[in-house]
Every structure is written in C-alpha cells, then in structure tokens.
Amino acid sequence: MLKNATYNLMETATVISKALHRYDTFKKDSGDCQHCQQVWDHMKKADEELLARLAPHIREHLDKDEGVRKAA
C-alpha cells in the first residue's frame, strides 16, 4: 500500500497530465481570442514544469515506500 503522501503526489501528477492533454483543445476552442490562447499556453508551460518537478519526487517516494516494505 502506498503512503498518503505518495498517493497524493501521484494523484496530482495524474490531474496535471490530464490537463496537459487538453490544453491544445482548449486553445483551439478559444478561436481568435489571443488572450485566451496566451492563458492556455502559459498554463500548459507551467504544468509541464510542475510535472517535470513532480515526477522525480514521486520516484523518490516510491523508492522509499518500497524500501520500508522490504524492511518489514
């Protein structure tokens, strides 16, 4: 079983990943509104950076959780 902290990180990464998958559609749906397109571009970039930070930290938690399980 995963610790809550690990699960929460994974859940957050999943939500961010799903948003990243949709941003291009949202941008397309914004039509000719340049401001909307800029907002979606900004959010996509910010989420890509956040996911890039989360992924290695999740790995650390998974490795730590595995180590605890093996020691038990």
Per residue in 24-42, pLDDT (tens digit) is 999 999 999 999 999 999 9
**Is the per-residue pLDDT at 70 higher than 80?**
no
Q: Which residues contact 41 (CB under 8 A, 6 or more apart)?
A: 23, 27
Q: What is the pTM of this model?
A: 0.81
| Nearest Cα to Cα of residue 14 among 46, 54, 41 | 54
Q: Which residues contact 36 (CB under 8 A, 6 or more apart)?
A: 27, 30
Averaged pLDDT, 46-60: 96
Backbone angles phi, psi at 30, to 5 degrees: -75, -5
Q: How far apart are alpha carbons 52 and 40 in whole angstroms?
A: 18
